[in-house]
């Protein structure tokens, strides 16, 4: 089979011929890949940025946002059958640690991260994974439509779901960043809450996109955004701020627009939270970390998608054109998410 293999950092991956993987263990699932998302993380891996984090052994197959059809299963697999359409949770988790037993997959003490940590990923004809990573899809969904939700979409959904209990009617959710994660966040908010949604972004086109997805107000980040959001919230700020940027000043903006007794959800990263403790306590505000999402979160996001409540802008490339796709992504020519189709 074909597979996109990274042989060396700073050298574009090659499409190699590899033997097809086989089911051997009782919980193995072999997936015929229908689509694999290409993500900025893939560029970071190519640049070696993940080397100190996961020490992957080269070469390996890229691709951590995967969807396809079940080709074969091990003897103990009961959640999917051959022929099912599936999307893959980005992690293969142990199912045995306290975190797994509580459903908090992202904190599994022994998880595997295919396509990132040196385990072969999904930019290939086939991917061997485990039963705990496959989510069965409504047959109406196509792998190419959903693959890019496996990681980026899941992360946005997870943060929104944690915020839902705070977003009763009459409250405001401020979304900072209307990009790949943010526009899924806006759609998730619309589907699950009646909160007023304000979106701030530097890019007018991105704001127009989310207006169509249910944002009640959009604010261009041109230096006047703090004042405009204050005006929209009677000078109080928002009960929930979902910060999909987390750097370049957004981390400060988000806190300053978090209402008394409110919560600032950090999803994007790069910057630094820098807040006096007197400011934390005198207003009783919170800073909330967010990391990927659970297996059930992914199943729920797929339920929303099957209901037509989540849409994703994509551009499809054949697997052989992976380097065209990487070049386009690198050069900023890629609108929406790039999808590789074997």
Residues of span 56-85 touching a copy of itself by CB under 8 A:
76-79
116 contacts a copy of itself (rule: CB under 8 A) = no
CB of 195 to a copy of itself, least distance (A): 10
Q: Interface with a copy of itself includes 170 (CB under 8 A)?
A: yes
Q: What are 175's strand-pairing partners?
A: 199, 242
Task: Pick from 15, 23, 299, 341 the residue near a copy of itself by CB under 8 A.
Answer: 299
Say how far apart CA 218 and CA 183 lie, in whole Å: 12
CA 41 to CA 314: how far, in whole Å? 17
Instruction: Mark the segment that binds a copy of itself (CB under 8 A) among 63-71, 105-113, 142-150, 321-329.
Output: 105-113
Please report how close the Cβ of residue 48 comes to a copy of itself at its closest, in angstroms. 17
Whether residue 101 is preceded by a cis peptide bond, meaning omega within 30 degrees of 0, is: no
Question: Which residue in 83, 103, 235, 318 binds a copy of itself (CB under 8 A)?
Answer: 103
Of residues 305 through 324, those in contact with a copy of itself by CB under 8 A are: 307, 309
Only one of the segments 41-49, 223-231, 292-300, 333-341 lies at the binding site for a copy of itself (rule: CB under 8 A); that segment is: 292-300
Least distance in angstroms from the C-beta of 98 to a copy of itself? 6
d(CA 255, CA 127): 42
Please report the DSSP string for 18-55 in residue order.
-PPP---STTEEEEEEEEEEE-HHHHHHHTTTTHHHH-
Task: Return the range that interacts with a copy of itself (CB under 8 A); candidates 21-29, 37-45, 144-152, 198-206.
Answer: 21-29
One residue of 251, 314, 317, 338 binding a copy of itself per CB under 8 A: 251
Among 43-51, 103-111, 115-123, 315-323, which window interacts with a copy of itself (CB under 8 A)?
103-111
Task: Quote the radius of gyration of the chain (alpha carbons, Å).
Answer: 20
Alpha helix (H) ranges present in 132-235?
Answer: 143-146, 152-163, 182-192, 204-212, 225-232
Give the relative orientation of helices 182-192 and 204-212 as an angle to the nearest 10 degrees: 20
Among 10, 17, 55, 165, binds a copy of itself (CB under 8 A): 165
């Amino acid at each position: 089979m074909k597979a996109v293999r990274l042989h060396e950092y700073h050298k574009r991956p090659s499409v190699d011929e590899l033997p097809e993987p086989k089911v051997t263990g009782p919980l193995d699932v072999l997936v015929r890949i229908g689509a694999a998302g290409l993500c900025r993380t893939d560029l970071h891996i190519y640049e070696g940025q993940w080397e100190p984090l996961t020490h992957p052994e080269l070469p390996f197959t890229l691709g951590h946002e995967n969807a396809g059809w079940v080709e074969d299963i091990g003897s103990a697999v009961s959640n999917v059958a051959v022929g099912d359409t599936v999307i893959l949770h980005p992690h293969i988790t142990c199912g045995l640690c306290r975190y797994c037993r509580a459903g908090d997959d992202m904190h599994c003490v022994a998880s595997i991260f295919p396509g990132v940590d040196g385990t072969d990923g999904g930019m290939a004809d086939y991917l061997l994974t485990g039963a705990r990573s496959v989510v069965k899809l409504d047959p109406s969904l196509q792998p190419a439509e959903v693959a890019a939700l496996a990681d980026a979409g899941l992360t946005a959904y997870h943060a929104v779901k944690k915020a839902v209990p705070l977003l009763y009617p009459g409250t405001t959710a401020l979304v900072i960043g209307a990009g790949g994660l943010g526009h899924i966040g806006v759609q998730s908010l619309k589907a699950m809450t009646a909160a007023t949604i304000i979106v701030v972004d530097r890019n007018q086109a991105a704001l127009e996109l989310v207006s169509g997805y249910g944002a009640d107000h959009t604010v261009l980040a041109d230096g006047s955004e703090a004042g405009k959001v204050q005006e929209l919230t009677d000078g109080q700020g928002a009960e929930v701020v979902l910060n999909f940027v987390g750097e370049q000043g957004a981390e400060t903006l988000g806190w300053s627009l978090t209402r008394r007794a409110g919560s600032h959800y950090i999803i994007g990263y790069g910057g630094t939270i820098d807040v006096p403790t007197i400011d934390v306590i005198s207003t009783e505000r919170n800073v909330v970390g967010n990391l990927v999402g659970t297996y059930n979160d992914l199943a729920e996001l797929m339920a929303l998608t099957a209901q037509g409540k989540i849409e994703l802008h994509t551009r499809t490339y054949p697997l052989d054109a992976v380097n065209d796709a990487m070049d386009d992504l690198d050069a900023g020519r890629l609108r929406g998410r790039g999808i590789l189709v074997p």
